[in-house]
């Protein structure tokens, strides 16, 4: 189903870009899919077997790259779709990677820390012949953390008999991680939004759905130039016409565990947040937040997809018809994989870049690729998502043709 949606987006973009028969053929299927069992001795002494996944979708532009998700709903269809999107995302941001993704069917919140460690090491033992610093490089995704990346890197290093930090990214800084990685998704999204505002005139009022890693950092960066008037988390939303003080908001979230406890705010629902009279709407929570039903009620002139897949294909068409400008996920949240790539480069060259250097390089990438996508959007008069696909597919096509020339 999710994979079908991904293929729909591809079909739409194919009308605007000439692809070789080789590219069309190879993009239809993942290069490699792997489904395996991970036995774990639980704290109660019983053995429990978990299901693990890894998909390498396409590697014409370089080793495959993509996160590992721990979630009860993980399934092969979803992993394949996410690996496909990573192929497109890495090409949009022009880093030398293909796309991959992995996961485990599990709710990690129900496991002890020791069980999560055994499970994570077990995933790496099972997938060690698939991954590798020059083959397939995982990273964190939903409910996987820098600590989990460190355990996985350690397990892989034991298997191959040498420290191999470049096998995985999103590690803690003390274990070979990069400066800036913890907030790079939001910073990249902020750079893209700042560029967009130069082209599309909007006001300064911002609403942000989701206050986790991506949303909370976005609130921080956006508050420097814009007025963040609404935020929300899974417990509800908060509105403040004069704008939130980010430091105070962060403190409220840390202590009260919900954003609507902010003193003096008006409590709103997540639906109300989406439909507010804000200028910019940042989607940083879940998939399918904007649908055919609520899309016509959205007033924001600009939408920023920090989450993966927050707007359904039907909602996409409605927003485009209503002339609302959308920065698509494959561009807006590409800052995360971009700094993951920087982490891998640092690991490969045995260096550690400063935070300023990392952020400057990220800014250069985001500004350049945003403008490339925007140009295609303006020249071809197509929506930004399709334009990002056109840019990515052109790059993938050139790499495919160069490799499969006879
Ligand atoms: P997270 O778990 O840290 O945060 C998710 C937030 O969404 C939480 O604040 C949660 O309370 C909120 N939320 C859940 N249901 C909600 C609802 N119905 N309405 C409003 N808020 C709701 O996750 P994250 O890392 O911030 O990721 C968020 C999205 O961004 C995901 O789609 C993820 O795939 C995407 N993303 C994240 C990164 C990254 O580096 N963190 C990179 C690329 C894409």
Cα 68 from Cα 57, distance rounded (Å): 14
pLDDT at res. 405: 63
Residue from 189, 183, 142, 9 nearest 88 by CA: 9
DSSP H stretches of helix in 146-183: 146-160
339 CB less than 6 Å from ligand 1?
no
Q: What is the pTM of this model?
A: 0.95
Per-residue pLDDT band at 286 (split at 50, 70, 90): confident
Q: Separation of 258 CA from ligand 1 center, angstroms?
A: 14
Say if residues 249 and 259 touch (Cβ distance below 8 Å): yes
pLDDT of the residue at 319 = 96
Q: Alpha carbon of 92 to those of 59, 253, 334, 386, 388: distances in Å?
A: 15, 34, 8, 11, 6
pLDDT at 38: 98
Tell me if residue 132 falls in helix, strand or coil.
strand
Percent of the chain with pLDDT over 70: 100
Q: How far is the CA of 240 from the centre of ligand 1 (A)?
A: 22
Which of 88, 108, 145, 214 gets mutated to test ligand 1 (max ligand atoms within 8 A of its CB)?
214
Residue 225's closest CA among 209, 202, 251? 202
CA-based nearest residue to 309, from 81, 140, 67, 70: 81
Q: DSSP per residue over 342-377, as a string?
A: HHHHHHHHT----HHHHHHHHHHHHHHHHHHHHHHH
What does the alpha-carbon distance between residue 140 and residue 137 come to, in Å, rounded to a whole number?
Answer: 11
User: Residues 366-385: what's their mean pLDDT?
Assistant: 97
For ligand 1, pick from 107, 254, 284 the residue to mutate: most ligand atoms within 8 Å of CB: 284
Question: What whole-number distance in Å separates Cα of residue 44 and Cα of residue 49?
Answer: 14
- pLDDT tier, 214 (very low <50, low <70, confident <90, very high otherwise): very high
Whether 101 is a known active-site residue: answer: yes
pLDDT in the model for residue 235: 94
Q: Label residue 236 left, alpha or beta by phi (over 0 means left) and psi (-120 to 50 means alpha).
A: left
| Closest CA to ligand 1's atom 22 | 234
Ligand 1 site, residue 48, Cβ cutoff 6 A: no
pLDDT of 300 over the 80 cut: yes
Edge-first strand order for the sheet with 64-71 is: 32-41, 47-58, 98-105, 64-71, 136-140
User: Mean pLDDT over residues 284-311, rounded?
Assistant: 94
Nearest 10 degrees: Cα torsion 235, 238, 244, 246: 0
Mean pLDDT of 370-385: 97
CA-nearest residue for atom 15, ligand 1, is 234
Token couple for 369: 């690729």
pLDDT of residue 8 exceeding 90, the answer is no
**106-144 pLDDT, tens digit each:** 999 999 999 999 999 999 999 999 999 999 999 999 899
One DSSP character per residue, 218-282 reads HHHHHHTTSEEEEEEETTEEEE-TT---HHHHHHHHHHHSSGGGSTTPEEE-HHHHHTSS-SEEE
Question: What average pLDDT does this structure show over 342-347?
Answer: 98
**Host H or E run for residue 98:** strand 98-105
Residue nearest atom 3 in ligand 1 by C-alpha distance: 212
What average pLDDT does this structure show over 285-307? Answer: 95
Catalytic residue among 101, 171, 205, 253: 101
Residue 4's pLDDT band, with cuts at 50, 70 and 90, is confident
Q: CA-CA-CA-CA torsion for 233, 149, 370, 327, nearest 10 degrees?
A: -30
Strands 302-305 and 266-268: unpaired
Does position 404 have pLDDT exceeding 90, yes or no?
A: no
pLDDT of res. 329: 96
Q: How many angstroms separate the Cα of 26 from the Cα of each of 22, 79, 82, 272, 284?
A: 6, 17, 16, 43, 32
Decide which of 234 and 405 is more confident: 234
Which pLDDT does position 406 carry in this prediction?
Answer: 57
3-state SS, residue 99: strand
Mean pLDDT, the chain, whole residue set: 96
In this structure, the chain runs to a length of 406
Q: What is the mean pLDDT of residues 89-108?
A: 98
**Contacts (Cβ under 8 Å, ≥6 apart) of 166:** 133, 137, 344, 347, 348
Pairing of β 98-105 and β 64-71: parallel
For the segment 233-243, the average pLDDT, to the nearest whole number, is: 96
Triad 211, 216, 221: Cα angle to 5°: 150
Q: Per-residue b/e over 21-53, b at no fewer than 16 CB within 10 Å? A: eebeebbeebbbbbebebebeeeeeeeeebebb
Closest-CA residue, ligand 1 atom 13, reads: 234
Q: What pLDDT score was predicted for residue 6?
A: 86
Tens digit of each residue's pLDDT (9 = 90 or more) over 163-213: 999 999 999 999 999 999 999 999 999 999 999 999 998 999 999 999 999
pLDDT band of 84, cuts 50, 70, 90: very high
The phi and psi torsions of 125 (rounded to 5 degrees) equal -60, -40
Whether the CB-CB separation of 288 and 309 falls below 8 Å is answered with: yes
What does the block give as tokens for 373?
């996508």
């Amino acid at each position: 189903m999710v994979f079908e949606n991904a293929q729909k987006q591809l079909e739409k973009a194919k009308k605007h870009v000439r692809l070789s028969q080789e590219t069309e053929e190879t993009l239809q299927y993942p290069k490699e899919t792997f489904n395996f069992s991970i036995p774990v001795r639980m704290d109660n002494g019983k053995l429990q077997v978990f299901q693990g996944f890894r998909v390498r979708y396409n590697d014409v532009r370089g080793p495959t790259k993509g996160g590992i998700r721990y979630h009860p709903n993980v399934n092969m269809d979803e992993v394949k779709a996410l690996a496909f999107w990573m192929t497109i995302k890495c090409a949009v941001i022009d880093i030398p990677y293909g796309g991959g993704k992995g996961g485990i069917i599990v709710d990690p919140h129900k496991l002890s820390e020791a069980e999560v460690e055994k499970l994570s090491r077990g995933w790496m033992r099972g997938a060690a012949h698939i991954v590798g610093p020059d083959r397939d490089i995982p990273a964190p995704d939903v409910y996987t953390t820098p600590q989990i990346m460190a355990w996985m890197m350690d397990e892989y290093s034991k298997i191959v008999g040498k420290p191999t930090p470049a096998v995985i990214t999103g590690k803690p800084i003390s274990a070979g991680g990069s400066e800036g990685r913890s907030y790079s998704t939001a910073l990249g999204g902020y750079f893209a939004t700042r560029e967009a505002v130069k082209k599309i005139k909007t006001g300064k009022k911002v609403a942000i759905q989701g206050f986790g890693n991506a949303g909370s950092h976005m609130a921080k960066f956006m508050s420097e130039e814009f007025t963040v008037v609404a935020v929300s988390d899974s417990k509800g939303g908060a509105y403040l016409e004069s704008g939130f003080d980010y430091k105070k908001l962060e403190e409220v979230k840390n202590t009260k565990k919900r954003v609507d406890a902010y003193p003096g705010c008006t409590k709103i629902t997540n639906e109300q947040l989406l439909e507010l009279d804000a200028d910019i709407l940042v989607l940083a929570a879940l998939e399918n937040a904007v649908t055919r039903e609520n899309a016509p009620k959205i007033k924001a002139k600009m939408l920023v997809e920090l989450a993966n897949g927050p707007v359904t294909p039907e909602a996409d068409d409605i927003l485009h018809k209503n002339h609302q400008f959308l920065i698509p996920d494959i561009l807006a949240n590409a800052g995360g994989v971009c700094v993951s790539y920087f982490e891998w480069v640092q690991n490969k060259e045995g260096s550690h870049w400063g935070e300023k250097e990392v952020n400057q390089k990220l800014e250069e990438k985001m500004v350049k690729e945003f403008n490339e996508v925007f140009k295609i959007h303006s020249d071809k008069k197509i929506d930004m998502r399709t334009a990002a696909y056109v840019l990515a597919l052109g790059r993938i096509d050139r790499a495919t043709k160069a490799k499969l020339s006879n």
